[in-house]
Structure 1
C-alpha cells in the first residue's frame, strides 16, 4: 500500500493533482484511497478546518488517525493519497513513521505555484470554502517547505502548477515567504564548498537523494539577504535535480517557450512519478526501537531456566552412559521427551553446557521465543545448542 503525501500552499492545486493521481493510478492498483479534510472532517469546510489553532489541531489529528486506520486496513494493491496542506514538517514525520511501521513505500509530492495564482484561485472558490485573506497569509508564512535531505521528505517530487513562466522559481518563492526556511540555516552551518560545489548529480533512476552530512562551523557565517537568496536558489536547483528523479519531458520545453499544455504536461508528469515511485522506491523498514515486541507470559523466563537445566542434566547423564541419541525432557515435569543427537559426535563438558545455557538465557531476555510453551522453549534451546556446538 504505497503512500503519497501531498503538500503545498493553500489553493495551489493540490486537490486537482490528487484527483488526477487517483484517476491515473486506477490501472496500476485495485483500489485508490483519497484522504482529505472533507473525508476526515465532514462537519467542517476546508477553510473552517483552519479557523483557529484549536480546530486546526483537531483537523490534523483526524487526518492522521484516518491515514493510520487506512494504512493498517489496506493491502499491497491499495494506493493511499493524503491531500492536505501538510505544512508542518513534524506532522509529515508522523505520517512517515506510520508508513514505516507498516513497511510500505512513502513519498512526498510538493505542489508549487506562484502567489498571484494562489490568491486568484482562492477568490474563485465558493464563499464557504474559500480561505480568508488573513488565513492565506498566515498559512503561507507558517509553511515549512519539504527538504529532500530529510529522510521523511524522501523521495521528494515537485509539480509546478504555474500558469505562466516567471523569473522567480516557485520553490524559491515558497522558501522566501516562509519563516521556517531551514534551507538557509543548513547552508549557513555548512561549508561554503559544500553549498556551491559542483558535486556529481544523482542519476535519473535514483528514487531519492542521499542526505548530506552538515558539519557545524566554529564561527557562524553571516550572509546578506541577497547572497542568501542566491545560495538558496543555487542549492534548490541542485537539490531539484537530485531529489526529483523524473526526467525532463517535452512539456518542459513547451513551458520554457511560454506555451505549456497544462493538462497534457500534468498527466505525463503524474504517470512518470507513479512509474518512478513504484519501480525505484523501496518499502521502509521498521526499526528495532519501534517494533512491537512479542507478548510473553510473566513466568516464561522461570520456565526457561528450569527446563534448560533439566535438559543439560539429561545430556550429561546420557553422555556418561556413552549414548549417541539422547532423550531430553520437553516439559518441566519430564513427562514428555525429545530425541536429540550430539552434532559434533564428541563428549560435551559440563562447563561448556553451562556456558551455552547461560548465553541462551541472556539472549532470550532480549529475544523471547516465538512459542513460549515448554515444548517451544525446549525446541528453541536444542536448536541453539546444536548451532553452538558446530
Structure 2
C-alpha cells in the first residue's frame, strides 16, 4: 500500500494532519487508511526518548507494523517524529521492496511554536522540556534532493493540505523499482557466501588500516568498488565487525546474482550506518 511518512518536530501538528489525510482518502472512497504511530504502542514518550535503546525498539516496532500492513491496495500513514534520515532511508527501502509509492509530509514549525503547543497539552501528554529540546536539536530535516525524502510536501501551520497533489503522488505515480539491495532473490550458489565473507572481511581490515593515516572527511576507496566510504569519525573494530555481521545477515536474505556488486553494496550500507 502507498505509504505517507509524517515528519516534524515534537508537537508540530503531525497527528492532526494525519487525521486530515485519513478523512480525505476515506471520504473520497479512494482507499482504506491505516494510521501507525507512537500512540498505538502505549509507551511514555519521555521514558522512550530519554533512552536510546528504548527509542530504537519503538522505531523498530513502528517499522515492523508498517511492513505488516504494506500491500498495494490501502494507504498507511506513519505518524511519528521520523526525524532521523537513516530511518527514513530504511522506510524507503521497505517501500521499494514492496513496490509501492510513498511520500513525505513535513510539518514545518518553529522551535517556539512547537514548544508552545507542547506546554498547552495535558501534563500526561507533554514532553519534558529537556527531552523536547534534545529532539529538536537532533532533528534531521528532510531534503527533497534525497530520493527517500521525495516527493516532499512541506506544510506550515496555517496551510491547507494539498490533498490532490498528495493523492496523485501516491496513486498515480509508479513505485520505485527494486534494486539489488532490496529485491529478494534465491540464493544462487555457495560462491556468493564465500565472496560475501571474503570481500567484507578485506574491506574491514582496509578501513581499520586506513584510519591510522586518515582524518575525518577523508574518502576510502576499495578495489572493485566504484563508491567510497567517507570517514566522519573514528570507528573501532568492534563496531566495524558488528556492522559487517548485520550486512551479512541482510545480504543472505537479499542476495545479488552479481557478486561484483557486493563491495559497492557494503560501502553504501556503511555510509548510511555511520552517518
TM-score range, shorter chain: 0.5 to 0.7
Q: Distance in 1 between matches of 2:171 and 2:111?
A: 34
Q: Distance in 2 between matches of 1:47 and 1:125?
A: 14
Match of 1:358 in 2: none
> Structure 2: 5+ residue runs without aligned partners?
191-256, 259-275
Residues 34-62 of structure 1 deviation map (CA, whole Å, 9 limit, x = unaligned): 000122x22x1334331321221111111
Q: Distance in 1 between matches of 2:79 and 2:182?
A: 27
Q: Distance in 2 between matches of 1:292 and 1:52?
A: 34
Aligned-CA RMSD value:
2.1
Match of 2:47 in 1: 48
CA shift for structure 1 position 295: 6.3
Match of 2:16 in 1: 16
Match of 2:87 in 1: 91
1:127 aligned residue (123, 128, 132): 123
What number of residue pairs does the alignment pair up? 191
Match of 2:200 in 1: none
Correspondence list, 1:25-64, <5 A: 25-26=25-26, 27-39=28-40, 41-42=41-42, 44-64=43-63
Match of 1:115 in 2: 111
Larger Rg: 1
Q: Distance in 2 between matches of 1:273 and 1:45?
A: 35
Q: Distance in 1 between matches of 2:181 and 2:138?
A: 32
Match of 1:345 in 2: none
CA shift for structure 1 position 297: 10
Distance 1:77 1:280, change over 3 A: closer
CA shift for structure 1 position 127: 1.2
Correspondence list, 1:1-390, <5 A: 1-26=1-26, 27-39=28-40, 41-42=41-42, 44-71=43-70, 74=71, 76-161=72-157, 262=158, 265-266=159-160, 269-278=161-170, 280-294=172-186
> Structure 1: 5+ residue runs without aligned partners?
162-261, 299-365, 368-390
Q: Distance in 2 between matches of 1:272 and 1:290?
A: 30
Q: Distance in 2 between matches of 1:121 and 1:288?
A: 44
Q: Distance in 1 between matches of 2:108 and 2:188?
A: 50
Structure with the larger RCO, 1 or 2 (CA within 8 Å, 6+ apart): 2
More displaced, 275-284 or 91-100?
A: 275-284
Is the 2:96–2:182 Cα contact (8 Å) retained in structure 1? no
Q: Distance in 2 between matches of 1:150 and 1:296?
A: 32
Match of 1:320 in 2: none
Residues 289-310 of structure 1 deviation map (CA, whole Å, 9 limit, x = unaligned): 4321236899xxxxxxxxxxxx
